[in-house]
Amino acid sequence: MKKPSERVVDIIKLLRKTYPQSRTALEYETPLQILVSTILSAQCTDERVNRITPALFKKYPNAAAFAKADKAELEMDIRPTGFFRNKAKSIMGAARKIVEDFGGEVPDSMEKLITLPGVARKTANIVLSSVFKKAEGIAVDVHVKRLSCRMGLSKQAVPEKVEQDLLKIVPKDAWLDFNYLLVNHGRAVCQARKPRCADCVIAALCPKIGLPRALVPVKIA
């Protein structure tokens, strides 16, 4: 088995061929919309987020509107996404800072984005890569964390530490789409409970780290 830094290049090539249109599944038109959608997607499916955001963004068309929102009303607007009280607090806090410190426009750097309430590196990376096409890191969500462990790319449990491991071995020209490639593969094949290893295009490159013994398949050439 090759070293992680050698395998990851082959993994990226195969996943890009398998998922040529990899991008976030969240639907958005503006930087603010992808920011809000990403906050809402925490512990919620992108599909559910996409169901409520058209009406949400029509009701709150800009950062000033979110900043001035009635918190109880906003909570009800986003209730289907779960954890709606904390999410409403984060959205309103971020919107206020965007209005007060950034002229109503979502900032386009990691340094500034992570100053927004409720915005950590994962959310900032999604915003930067999706709408600004900037690669300042790799977003580590549940799919990226799981697949990175299974493929032996990181042994860390904390997302920030997983990201640091990935940044050392993933070529910078792949930082923009690495998250989306792993998310697509995690949803389609390398699922949490029952990974479909027999259908996996990168099975020969995967040491199966993190898989229960009963689920470790025969290697596919």
Question: CA-CA-CA-CA torsion for 168, 210, 142, 86, nearest 10 degrees?
Answer: -110
Task: Yes or no: say if 191 and 171 are a contact pair by the CB < 8 Å rule.
Answer: no
Say which residue, 1 or 145, is predicted with more confidence.
145
**Could you tell me the CA-to-CA distances from 4 to 30, 54, 59, 165, 170 in Å, in that order?**
36, 41, 47, 10, 9
Q: Is the pLDDT of residue 59 over 50?
A: yes
Write down the pLDDT at residue 220: 31
* Mean pLDDT value of segment 124-136: 96
Task: Yes or no: say if 41 and 25 are a contact pair by the CB < 8 Å rule.
Answer: no
Write down the pLDDT at residue 218: 36
Same fold, 4-22+138-215 and 31-105: no
Domain spans, the chain = 4-22+138-215, 31-105
Q: Is the pLDDT of residue 84 over 80?
A: yes
Query: What distance in Å separates the CA atoms of residue 103 and residue 63, rounded to the nearest whole number?
Result: 10
- Domain 4-22+138-215 class in CATH: mainly alpha
CATH number of 31-105: 1.10.340.30
The catalytically annotated residue of 87, 141, 145, 177 is 141
* Mean pLDDT value of segment 5-10: 93
Q: Is the pLDDT of residue 216 over 50?
A: no
Catalytic residue list contains 10: no
Query: What distance in Å separates the CA atoms of residue 143 and residue 149, rounded to the nearest whole number?
Result: 10
Catalytic residue list contains 141: yes
Write down the pLDDT at residue 160: 94
**Could you tell me the CA-to-CA distances from 155 to 52, 108, 163, 165, 180 in Å, in that order?**
36, 31, 11, 9, 20
Write down the pLDDT at residue 163: 97
Determine whether 62 is exposed, middle or buried from the number of CB atoms within 10 Å of its CB (0-12, 13-18, 19+): middle
Q: Is the pLDDT of residue 135 over 90?
A: yes
Q: Is the pLDDT of residue 110 over 80?
A: yes
Write down the pLDDT at residue 5: 87
Average pLDDT, the chain: 92
Write down the pLDDT at residue 182: 97
Write down the pLDDT at residue 4: 87
The catalytically annotated residue of 122, 134, 173, 219 is 122
* Mean pLDDT value of segment 90-114: 98
Say which residue, 209 or 25, is predicted with more confidence.
25
